[in-house]
């Protein structure tokens, strides 16, 4: 079952049916997910893990549907709603298919492996001449059309970067470490080639997070400080000029400066739409129709306010709180877990926590409200928490003993009991 789910991850992320039209005509993705659903119904090991995050996702989904029904542009927004519902269905399959640490690791490794194949495929096409010319520079794009835009493609890479550190801690064989380093190098290279300023800032934020969490932060910071300018100078002058506009907009072309100002305009329009439609917004996926703009909001927060109104703001905030609450619970449980120092769940949970932060951070300059990461990362967290809860419940409490007139309760790890 796990491998079927990983296969769908590949279809969803790499989207070969958008690369080769004949696959699109056959609708292979629909056939695949329907077959997976049938097998899931017969799958004997599926389990439902109780978690308040399920409720928050349901509330957010209801907000999306209600805002869509109330929208004057509901027909144009149908595509966005259908896509989110497909992600929600896969979330159910994902969250119910694993109940042990081995299964969780397999799914997470599968997700990152799919991302690696996606990057390799896109890089291969870029070397073959497939790119876009925008803002006066050649920019790398993803092989797909749904999230293949340079900014969206770069953001996808950034959101998966935190798993590099998790894998470095979990997998310590030489060939595994080499694969991890290779994935990191390919990720950074692809972000640079996209020319996406927001994605580059995301990489830098993640890099600083890694440095300050390291036990060797002094040497790590020195390496970071030395490598950053070296990598920058190795870039073509066009990309150097592009990234320099992050701190000095005047050095780039006029349209690059206008692109940055468009983010601010997106916030203003989002507030205006919220003021006109305080409860349900204008509806999901209809930003351009409602604002008569040629571009999207380029902001998670403007998109949330303008498209989903107050209902979306409240329900999405609950989802974010639920995600971080699960990360915090898992982090606190590590001290009570007899396998806390060796379990893969904890580095995976930390990686997801950073991934969620990056989703929120990149939301300052990207409209990622309906991305699959919000649901997939939540599914990984719910599975991890359920495994830890079962593990903690399996630890028996031994009868108390008396020491110096005081009661002292002793607990024995389950695996040490004979």
Phi/psi zone of residue 298: left (φ > 0), alpha (ψ -120 to 50 degrees), beta?
left
Is the pLDDT confidence value at 134 over 50? yes
SS3 call for 298? coil
Model confidence pTM above 0.85:
yes
Per residue in 164-198, pLDDT tens? 999 999 998 999 999 999 999 999 999 999 988 88
Task: State how far the alpha carbon of 231 is from the alpha carbons of 209, 277, 330, in Å.
Answer: 19, 47, 37
Read off the pLDDT band of 418 (50, 70, 90). very low
**Gap between the Cα atoms of 88 and 61, Å rounded:** 8
Read off the pLDDT band of 51 (50, 70, 90). very high
Read off the pLDDT band of 252 (50, 70, 90). low
Q: Report phi then psi at 129, rounded to 5.
A: 105, 5
**Gap between the Cα atoms of 281 and 328, Å rounded:** 32
Domain that holds residue 158: 2-416
Instruction: Give the chain's domain count.
Output: 1
pLDDT of residue 21: 74
**Gap between the Cα atoms of 222 and 413, Å rounded:** 42
């Amino acid at each position: 079952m796990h491998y079927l789910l990983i296969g769908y991850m590949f279809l969803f992320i790499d989207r070969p049916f958008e690369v080769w039209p004949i696959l699109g005509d056959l609708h292979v993705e629909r056939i695949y997910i329907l077959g997976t659903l049938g097998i899931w119904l017969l799958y004997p090991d599926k389990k439902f893990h109780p978690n308040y995050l399920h409720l928050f996702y349901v509330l957010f989904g209801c907000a999306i549907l209600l805002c869509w029904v109330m929208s004057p542009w509901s027909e144009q927004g149908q595509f966005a709603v259908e896509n989110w519902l497909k992600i929600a269905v896969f979330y159910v399959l994902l969250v119910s298919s694993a109940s042990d640490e081995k299964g969780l690791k397999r799914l997470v490794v599968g997700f990152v492996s799919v991302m690696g194949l996606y990057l390799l495929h896109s890089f291969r096409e870029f070397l073959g001449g497939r790119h876009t010319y925008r803002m006066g520079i050649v920019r790398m794009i993803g092989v797909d059309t749904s999230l293949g835009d340079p900014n969206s493609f770069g953001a996808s890479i950034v959101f998966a970067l935190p798993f590099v550190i998790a894998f470095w801690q979990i997998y310590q064989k030489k060939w595994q470490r080499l694969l991890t380093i290779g994935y990191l190098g390919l990720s950074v290279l692809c972000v640079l080639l996209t020319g996406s300023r927001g994605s580059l800032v995301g990489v830098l934020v993640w890099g600083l997070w890694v440095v300050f969490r390291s036990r060797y932060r002094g040497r790590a910071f020195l390496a970071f400080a030395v490598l950053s300018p070296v990598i920058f100078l190795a870039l073509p002058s066009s990309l150097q000029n592009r990234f320099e506009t992050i701190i000095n907009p005047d050095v780039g072309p006029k349209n690059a400066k206008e692109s940055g100002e468009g983010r601010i305009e997106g916030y203003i329009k989002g507030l205006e739409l919220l003021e006109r439609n305080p409860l349900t917004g204008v509806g999901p996926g209809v930003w351009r129709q409602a604002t008569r703009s040629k571009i999207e909001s380029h902001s998670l927060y403007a998109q949330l306010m303008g498209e989903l109104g107050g209902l979306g703001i409240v329900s999405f905030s609950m989802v974010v709180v639920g995600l971080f609450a699960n990360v915090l619970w898992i982090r606190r449980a590590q001290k009570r877990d007899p396998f806390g120092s060796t379990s893969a769940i904890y580095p995976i949970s930390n990686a997801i926590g950073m991934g969620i932060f990056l989703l929120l951070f990149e939301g300052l300059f990207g409209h990622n409200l309906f991305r699959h990461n919000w649901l997939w990362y939540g599914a990984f967290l719910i599975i991890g928490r359920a495994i830890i809860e079962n593990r903690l419940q399996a630890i028996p409490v031994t009868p108390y003993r008396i020491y110096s007139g005081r009661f002292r309760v002793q607990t024995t790890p389950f695996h040490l009991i004979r």
